[in-house]
Amino acid sequence: MSDISHPGEENQVSHGPKWLLPAIIAGVVLGGIFGAAAPEQAEGLDFLGELFLNALKMLIVPLVVSSMISGIASLGDVRKLGKPGLVTVGLYAATTALAVFIGVIFVNILKPGEGVAVEGAGGEPPHRIVVKADNAYLVLDKDQPYYTENGEPVRKLVAKFPSEEQATEATKEGEKSLVGVIAKVLRMMVSENVIESASHTDILPLIFFSLLFGGVLTTLGSKGQLVLDLFDGICEAMMQMVNLIMYTAPIGIFALIAARLGKAGGGSAFLGELSKLGNYSLCVILALLFHAVL
């Protein structure tokens, strides 16, 4: 009789208690009020918010890996998927490519990052560099050198411009082109060290590895099923841990909002910073709506 669940027990486990959402909303409101009214005192609550975020972050890698492997295992032997399986994979690839394409268009039109300074966001070094020649500025590809007859490496010439401004703009356009974005995403998918990717919480290579690993496990019969059952149990355990941590969400969110407002100098200073993010929010919302309509 131990496996008989009580009415409403499953809903409570999956969606949390009824008081949790109102408590989170109250945490948001009270955190905003406290941070705006007493910024110096609110800044001292930062450690509580960091504890809450770190508790969630430590579950990201095991949750993503186990859920991806469990999901691919639910399809059965991938060799027997046939045409429906190929159609599913094709639709997934098409929708992903469409999302990338829409993102590139909206980012280049709205430029959501302009006017927002992010601490420590230096970004990756550019793949194209500008070199001054006699009467022009050359755009060279830093990643694709070619060799002369003497065996000396020479950067590949991408374009030539009369002014430095035009050449510099061309390097930025090359970085944001659709082909460049897709190539970068594909390079990110296949990691040379999946353990290092996990340590840096690089989700894309983890998803790719997990799907590939889970697909191979489905072809190993009973031996693979043992490993799949293990990851299925890990996935359920991770979900339960998420539920437990979410019980502390009202306190964690209260501390996060209050501390952020305190660091910003109170309500008036924070509103000035918040207004700079309006363009970014608009870009995200419009892109998501456009993708949903398509």
Digit-coded pLDDT (tens) for 244-256: 999 999 999 999 9
Residues sharing a CB contact under 8 Å with residue 211, sequence separation 6 or more, in sequence order: 68, 72
Residue predicted with more confidence, 130 or 192:
192
Measured CA angle at 108 (ends 104, 114), to 5 deg = 125
Mean pLDDT calculated for residue range 135-144: 66
pLDDT of residue 13: 43
pLDDT of residue 166: 67
> pLDDT tens, 9-51?
444 444 568 898 899 999 988 988 898 888 888 888 999 999 9
Is residue 176 over pLDDT 60? no
Q: How far apart are CA 213 and CA 188, in angstroms?
A: 17
Query: Which of 128-137, 167-176, 220-229, 258-267 shows the lowest mean pLDDT across its residues?
Result: 167-176
**Amino acid, single-letter form, for residue 51:** L
Q: Under DSSP, is residue 128 helix (H, G, I), strand (E, B) or coil?
A: strand
pLDDT of residue 278: 66
Nearest alpha carbon to residue 290 among 89, 105, 93: 105
**Residues 42 and 258: beta-carbon distance below 8 Å:** yes
Distances in Å between the Cα of 175 and the Cα atoms of 89, 108, 125, 128, 283 are: 28, 11, 10, 8, 19
Residues sharing a CB contact under 8 Å with residue 220, sequence separation 6 or more, in sequence order: 227
Q: How far apart are CA 84 and CA 104, in angstroms?
A: 30
pLDDT of residue 6: 43
* Annotated domain spans of the chain: 18-113+177-293, 125-176
- Indicate the pLDDT class of residue 75, thresholds 50, 70 and 90: confident
The string of DSSP letters for 267-294 reads HHHHHHHHHHTHHHHHHHHHHHHHHHH-
pLDDT of residue 8: 44
Q: What is the CA radius of gyration of the chain?
A: 25
Residue predicted with more confidence, 243 or 289:
243
Q: Under DSSP, is residue 150 helix (H, G, I), strand (E, B) or coil?
A: coil
State which CATH number among 3.40.50.720, 1.10.3860.10, 3.30.420.40, 2.60.40.10 fits the domain covering 18-113+177-293. Answer: 1.10.3860.10
Residue predicted with more confidence, 210 or 104:
210
